[in-house]
Amino acid sequence: MLLRALGVLAILSAAAAAHAQPREYVVQPGDTLYSIARRHGTAVDVLAQLNGLEDPHRLQVGQRLRLPDASGEGGQASDRERTHVVEKGDTLWSLARRYGTTPAAIARANGMSEEDTLRLGQVLRVPADPGEAPRLRLGSGASRGFAVVGLARRFLGTPYRWGGTGPGGFDCSGFLYAVFSRVGISLPRTSFEMFHKGRPVPRGQLQPGDLVFFSTYAPGPSHAGIYVGGGDFLHASSAGGGVRIDSLSKPYYHRRYLGARRYF
């Protein structure tokens, strides 16, 4: 009897030890922090903080990321949130009706737009109260900036179109206006207004999601983009033909740099 009890105790101890092991994910080609967060039912800022990522947009294939455990370590889900695994026929509208919220609230909580297509098996966070739905579950300005950059990257290659605010084309300020509106931040419509209404940010303190401004075709802040980290920025370039990434150290932009503004 004693041996049997000891055997059961050993099995339970092994199971507990296995459960205590941190969950990990190995980064695969094409992965982004946003796709990994959605796949595992967590949030971008939780993964970034849990893994000490200075630039969540520079993942390496084979990199090991720690995931929040089942108890919610590293970022517990709010009591006002639930999760839903997407089934055949689900849409944001049908889920909103089922859970008593709105499509926009679900989209914001999952870092997506209302036009995105749901995938079978996708894990969605469902806010219980649309009036208190988190904007991409972002608590800090830095994590909100990462979400802005993640959304902006989706539009890489979109054609340049004067006066355009998407989805078929953007001008520089129209691109910023469209991206920020998707995370619930209302920007002025022109780069000149954006420059004068945002909070100034010294160049040495730039964070992902900050707006960077240049004097190009006209005096003053006539061109703008979104800082993505690592000295790079995303923008709708008329000369480049559309949304692209360039370096602030590129001579053309280095000479014309005016400053940066923050809106979160």
Q: Where are the domains of the chain?
A: 81-132, 141-262
* Catalytic-labelled residue, pool 19, 40, 57, 172: 172
Burial class (CB in 10 A: 0-12, 13-18, 19+), 211: buried
Could you tell me the end-to-end alpha-carbon distance of the chain, in angstroms, rounded to an integer? 64
Contact 208, 150 (CB under 8 A): no
How far apart CA 78 and CA 263 sit, in angstroms, is: 25
The model's confidence at residue 121, banded by pLDDT at 50, 70 and 90, is confident
223 catalytic per annotation: yes
Q: Is 235 tagged catalytic? A: yes
**DSSP conformational letter for 225:** E
Under CATH, what is the fold of the domain 141-262?
A: endopeptidase fold (from Nostoc punctiforme) (3.90.1720)
* pTM exceeding the 0.85 threshold for the entire prediction: no
Task: For residue 27, give the nearest of 56, 54, 50, 59 by alpha carbon.
Answer: 59
For residues 116-132, average pLDDT? 71
Q: Is 57 a catalytic residue?
A: no
Q: What is the mean pLDDT of residues 42-64?
A: 74
81-132: CATH class: alpha beta
pLDDT band at 57 (very low <50, low <70, confident <90, very high): low
